[in-house]
């Protein structure tokens, strides 16, 4: 559906994001929400129908809302509610992913070795 619609964003109070359509990518939607909330994109995550929308895989693949909806029973559509949750800690992997996205790089591979102890990370990217 290319017709613009509105969605609700819930964080402390409910806000409305206008002019959303199915061709918008999830990363673009996240930045629209960040602008509306006046928060950096890497300090929060967004949830719809008990599904985290901005996982590392989705940041990397950057699907459109239509592509996301194709695999879901509960679709993002007119009057949907997106919940915003603030991270209790800094997620360095998401921070790196958004830094790459902001600078037109694409994360092609992210290998994390035992993040609970040593936090070794190997990263591959291209433009």
The CA-atom distances, in angstroms, between 48 and each of 77, 85, 105, 120 are 11, 11, 26, 31
Domain count within the chain: 1
- Which of 26-30, 40-44, 52-56, 58-62 is most confident? 26-30
pLDDT tens by residue, 46-77 = 999 999 999 888 888 899 999 999 999 999 99
* Res. 80: pLDDT tops 90: yes
Percent of the chain with pLDDT over 90: 51
- CATH number of the domain at 54, please: 3.10.20.90
Confidence category of residue 111, pLDDT binned at 50, 70, 90:
low
pLDDT tens by residue, 84-95 = 998 766 667 777
Helices (H), the chain: 26-37, 56-61, 65-69, 92-102
Query: What mean pLDDT do residues 102-127 have?
Result: 65
Q: Where in the sequence is the domain holding 101, given as residue range(s)?
A: 5-126
Structure tokens at 48: 């719809």
Structure tokens at 61: 């693949």
């Amino acid at each position: 559906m290319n017709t613009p619609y509105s969605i609700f964003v819930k964080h402390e109070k409910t806000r409305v994001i206008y002019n959303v359509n199915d061709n918008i990518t999830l990363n673009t939607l996240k930045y629209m929400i960040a602008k509306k909330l006046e928060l950096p994109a890497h300090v929060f995550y967004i949830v719809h129908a008990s599904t985290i929308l901005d996982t590392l895989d989705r940041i990397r693949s950057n699907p459109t809302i239509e592509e996301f909806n194709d695999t879901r029973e509960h679709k993002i559509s007119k009057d949907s509610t997106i919940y915003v949750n603030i991270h209790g800690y800094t997620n360095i992997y998401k921070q790196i992913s958004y830094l790459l996205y902001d600078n037109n790089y694409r994360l092609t591979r992210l290998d994390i070795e035992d993040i609970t102890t040593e936090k070794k990370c190997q990263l591959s990217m291209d433009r």
